[in-house]
Structure 1
Amino acid sequence: MMTPFIRNHQYNLITKQLELLQHARSTVSDQKVVQSVQYSAEAKIIEAFEHLTDEQQHRLGGLSALQKAEHFQAYAHALEPYLIPFPQVTEKQIKKLFHKNKKLTVPDVNAIDYARTTYMGWQDIATGKMFLVYQQNEDVVGIEGKFTPTNKKSTCFICHKQREAALFTAVSKAKPANASPDYYKAVGNYMCLHSEECNRSITDVAALERFVRAVTG
């Protein structure tokens, strides 16, 4: 079997393009328009990957054969074995990432769908803290910060969807040269309160990785 090569956000992008193409096939009578949507979907799917083998590219092809709803569902389902799962971190490993927080509330790691996870995120309502765990290169890093609920829908900087969100603010560990001992810089963004929904919508990790780099240095 082919080695997994699709990350969660790439899979989300693929399913989004499938939805657009399926909608075009079912609502648009002009076949030239439908073909244009198909070509656009094919291009965006390929562009989501930096490197693809011929075998991987072949696996992602075949959109022209998708005509009915069950065809699209079967295509998406057939890609699931090729998802690269998020590292299966243990409760002990998470506590080590946030070792300064002695009363850390840890999510149930056994309930996580690692194949459909780009990052782990959760809140501790009692302390007003928000936590994020992400794989940066080969390392798993943890970011702790304050969260301020907006009590309304805001655009999440990670998935770009309008959802119930909070302002997540973390102190950057990066310091410029010759910075004074009391140098302080906070980095903040509006972020989904429910990470599962966010993980099902994210199609690009660029903004998330910029945030992680800004905080971790």
Structure 2
Amino acid sequence: MSLLYPHQFHDIEHRVARLINVYKSVNDTRTISLIQSETQDHILSLFPKKTLELEKWVDQLMTLDLSTYKAEKLLAEMKPYVKPFTHPTPQQVKKVFRKVKKLKTPKISEEVLYDSTYIGWTDIASQRKYILYYDKNGKLQGFYGDLSPQVVKGFCSICNKESNVSLFMRKTNQSSDGRYTKKGDYICHDSLKCNRQLDSLVHFQNFLHKIQ
């Protein structure tokens, strides 16, 4: 099978969870069949090549007795096909944030890399949130901003899910008179949770555009 990106794997996870909920709560067979077909087509569309192995795997999700336990086992079989976030070297991170003195970089586990579309961490001392990501050309990019310590319930502008969010503000100097301006929005306070909720790049890309 072809490789999946982390957000695509999370997309499959979320759709499988929805399917299980439908099996438990919907009695109308036509509705169930429609959602099954929609889910099946969407998952298969994430792969450039449709293999017999892949089709058999998806077929196992289409049984009405699919349980959370069985779904977790099936998803675990798919995890090796996920392309993890490429672990940057300390030198690469320092180059991205070359203007930051005494930068503290986090230790990133292999599990986190498999879950992550971006890497985000907060420097508690400065209340700065740092975010690393790879652009469409595969180049490591990053930015940082102030993260409010106040956590509220709301929608994250990165993953577009309801979550515990905080206001993130990035300082820019793009005004015509050279003065600094601030741009930002509410994002998940916990970046790892945000990554696990992120199942599409659309809102993340919109967020990147918003804070430029």
Shorter-chain TM-score tier:
0.7 to 0.9
With over 3 angstroms needed to count, the CA separation of the structure-2 counterparts of 1:170 and 1:58, relative to structure 1, is same
Partner Cα separation in structure 1 for residue 114 and residue 64 of structure 2 = 25
With over 3 angstroms needed to count, the CA separation of the structure-2 counterparts of 1:199 and 1:59, relative to structure 1, is farther
Per the normalisation by structure 1, the TM-score is: 0.83
Residue of structure 2 equivalent to 1:207 = 203
Partner Cα separation in structure 2 for residue 115 and residue 29 of structure 1 = 36
Query: How far apart are residue 82 of structure 1 and its match?
Result: 0.8
RMSD of aligned Cα (Å): 2.5
Partner Cα separation in structure 1 for residue 15 and residue 33 of structure 2 = 13
Residue of structure 1 equivalent to 2:21 = 23
Residue of structure 2 equivalent to 1:39 = 37
Query: How far apart are residue 27 of structure 1 and its match?
Result: 3.0
1:145 aligns with 2:141: no
DSSP 3-state at the match of 1:158: coil
Query: How far apart are residue 3 of structure 1 and its match?
Result: 4.1
Residue of structure 2 equivalent to 1:116 = 115
Consecutive unaligned residues in structure 2, runs of 5 or more: none
Q: Which residues in structure 2 correspond to 1:34-73 (within 5 Å)?
A: 34-46=32-44, 49=46, 52-55=48-51, 58=55, 61-62=58-59, 63-65=61-63, 67-69=65-67, 70-73=69-72
Consecutive unaligned residues in structure 1, runs of 5 or more: none
Query: How far apart are residue 125 of structure 1 and its match?
Result: 2.1
Query: How far apart are residue 75 of structure 1 and its match?
Result: 2.3
| 2:130/2:142 contact within 8 Å kept | yes
Measured against aligned partners, the alpha-carbon deviations of 1:2-60 in whole angstroms (never above 9, x if no partner) come to 442x111111111111111112223333222211221232244345x3x6222396376
Moved more, 96-105 or 27-36: 27-36
- One-letter code of the match for 2:188? C
- One-letter code of the match for 1:58? E
Q: Which residues in structure 2 correspond to 1:136-215 (within 5 Å)?
A: 136-137=135-136, 138-172=138-172, 180=176, 182=178, 184-215=180-211
Partner Cα separation in structure 2 for residue 115 and residue 30 of structure 1 = 37
Per the normalisation by structure 2, the TM-score is: 0.84
| 2:97/2:142 contact within 8 Å kept | yes
